[in-house]
Amino acid sequence: MAGKHPGGFTLTELAIALLIVSLLLTGLMYTLAAQTEQRNRTETLRRLDEAKELLLAFAVVNGRLPCPARSNSSGAEVRNAAGECKNGAGLEDYYGGVLSDGTTGGLLPAAAIGFAPVDASGFALDAWGNRIRYAIAKTLDTGVSSCADTATTLHFTLATKLKSNGITCAPRDLIVCNATQAIAAGTACNAGTTVTNRFTVVAVVFSTGKNGALGPQGTNETENLDADHLFVYRPPDPSGAAGGEFDDLLAWIPVGQLYGRLIAAGILP
């Protein structure tokens, strides 16, 4: 009969239908990917908080904080009899990065604190399967606190020093800013970039984020792996940002929190 379409769809109608389905699937995949990413970030933050609690529990039991693990230590802390965070060759690296003997420094000592999950080598993992890193304060600042020992003497990794020095000692080397910058040991972040001052942080635990397996993707991420005392903490940035892509996640233990736990446990003062 005139004016009626034959049965079925025209090629144009099929093309439009396929386009609509494709757009719907693309939107669904994007939504699922975003949800997965958010779950991984949330889970990683939970693991960093758990790592902090386990580090504090270790301090209550042992009267000190543990040293970092190294890539060849199977998740165990690397510490000599004097309480120094050193490997067998006498090299030390509290903060992460690569030592001159080729071992990776600054890994969370999962075996020492009982952290899980771990990889086949015994190292703590974030939700993306990257190893969680750890840095601990080395020196004290006698300029802002009444401390029985000198500013260069170990304190937080040696139970006898932590006990004898008491709760008036302040750390002086770990500092958190919101952007990478040139900063000398014992100085402050540039104006407007301060997250913590240098008298606050005794330990940092951090994840290199989703892109961790690829290595640092910008100057801000590089700052967290360059084996110095400065760390960057900021919201995520895309690859086109001024400091490059950034998806690292950080948590830290303030000195007051550590002393508070040790006081509550009867270990200090």
Give 210's pLDDT tier (boundaries 50, 70, 90): very high
Percent of the chain at pLDDT > 90 equals: 48
Give 24's pLDDT tier (boundaries 50, 70, 90): confident
For position 88, what pLDDT does the model report? Answer: 63
DSSP state of 173: S
For position 178, what pLDDT does the model report? Answer: 93
Count of beta carbons in the 10 Å neighbourhood of residue 28: 10
Give 11's pLDDT tier (boundaries 50, 70, 90): confident
Whether 218 and 240 have beta carbons less than 8 Å apart is answered as: no
User: Considering the entire predicted model, what is its pTM?
Assistant: 0.83
Rounded Cα distance between 215 and 229, Å, is 19
Which position has the higher pLDDT, 161 or 145? 161
Nearest to 206 by CA among 119, 117, 113, 107: 107
* C-alpha atoms less than 13 angstroms from C-alpha of 169 in its C-beta half-sphere: 27
DSSP state of 47: H
Span 115-133, average pLDDT: 95
Nearest to 134 by CA among 170, 104, 171, 99: 104
Residues paired with 133 in a beta bridge: 107, 206
